[in-house]
Structure 1
Amino acid sequence: MINKFAESNFKAICDELSARDTDLKWVIDTYGYPPMWSRPNNFDSLVHIILEQQVSLASALAALYKLRERLQEITPTRVLLLTDEEFKACYCSRQKTAYIKYLAEAIVNGDINLEHFAEMPDEEIRIKLTALKGIGNWTVDIYLMFVLHRAGYFPIGDLAQVNALKRLKNLPALATRADMIAVAEHWSPYRTVASMILWHFYLSTPRKFKR
């Protein structure tokens, strides 16, 4: 059975997590419920996630808006008509230009079908997407969380998540991945919603703030 969440039960899951974790409860009591961040299941959303790799959210949005302005609609066929120079004018690095083109080609060729992903198990989706150059586990995690609303993910490769967890839980700076994954395991089967609470905390507090 696929483990999902939806707008209809999002706050109830937040409440359940708050009852189990006093730190998450403190975030919600202090800053309110987090947004249920969501994106449509389309090529535009995956391009957006690729653009977000290892840059600020503002930089990724600037590139996305430039691509939308140039193409009107970001689709695989329209993307494949752009030259590398046109991508560069849209603030896309050479690497990300290549990654976006690989994804577009896979969709045009029928190797990737985003509509089918909606009902596929998580790991099958991960195998399909990570077979493409430029798509790693972080990109798949964000796609599963924001687009398909799969409930079980703590994206350990996300710097904001790691920093928020360390600050909220007062973990040592040298806390290992295993340490953080062990903390997140207590939020199963709703680690994605807990992660959204962490992002909410991260975006709502000064960077040096500690709980």
Structure 2
Amino acid sequence: MTFNQDNYHQLCDHLATEDGDFKSIIDRHGYPPFWSRANSFETLVHIILEQQVSLASALSALNKLKDRIQEITPSRVLMLTDEELKACYFSRQKTVYVKYLAEALLSGQLNLQELETLPDDGTRKKLTALKGIGNWTVDIYLLMVLHRTNIFPIGDLAIVNAMKRLKPVPTAATKEHLLQIAEQWQPYRSVAAMLLWHYYLSPRD
């Protein structure tokens, strides 16, 4: 199942009727933005850059790369040396990951259009087979690119912190405990994640 701009607010309202905390988020801060990204190599590079760093740092590196090669394509990235990528703020590890991804796309090992037709688990299996792509990266891809409805990126620090602020859980609550709470939001956990990001990013009262 997928969600889109046409049914997004309706799904937010549905969750708000099921969970008063979500209703309070919408009442105080409005609906969350419809965060969406294209199904492209550039998007996957962007998500890899976002691993374990601030969103601003990742965007800075992406823009630096774009300034360097104009269009972010697998073939253009592979023309750059490791030193040139380092000058674009790429770490050594992320240089390896992005080059590996570029090679996988050029060789046909990975086909982004094919991922649109696979179930969530199939997409996860294809992507995590690649070096440097773990569950958090796949979760963001499934949620923001393919708009699958029931993805919950428990590896995302902003979501974890938002849940601990919103719900009466101990600060030392485990991810397993938070996932149990999130079960009540099925089959729309992706929309719940959007609401939690919105809450996290909104100014505190």
Short-chain TM bin: over 0.9
TM normalised by structure 2 equals: 0.98
List gaps (5 residues or longer) in structure 1.
none
RMSD: 0.8
Match of 2:74 in 1: 76
Name the aligned partner's letter for residue 55 of structure 1: V
Q: Distance in 2 between matches of 1:186 and 1:74?
A: 40
Match of 2:157 in 1: 159
Match of 1:29 in 2: 27
Name the aligned partner's letter for residue 23 of structure 1: D
Q: Distance in 2 between matches of 1:170 and 1:63?
A: 37
Residues 31-180 of structure 1 mapped to structure 2, 5 A cutoff: 31-180=29-178
What is the identity percentage for the equivalent residue pairs of Structure 1 and Structure 2? Answer: 62
List gaps (5 residues or longer) in structure 2.
none
Q: Distance in 1 between matches of 2:162 and 2:203?
A: 10
Matched position secondary structure for 2:185: coil
Q: Distance in 2 between matches of 1:174 and 1:167?
A: 12
Across the two proteins, how many residue pairs are aligned to each other? 205
Offset of 1:105 from its aligned partner?
0.4
Matched position secondary structure for 2:94: helix
TM normalised by structure 1 equals: 0.96
Name the aligned partner's letter for residue 76 of structure 1: P
Offset of 1:23 from its aligned partner?
0.2
Q: Distance in 2 between matches of 1:153 and 1:24?
A: 17
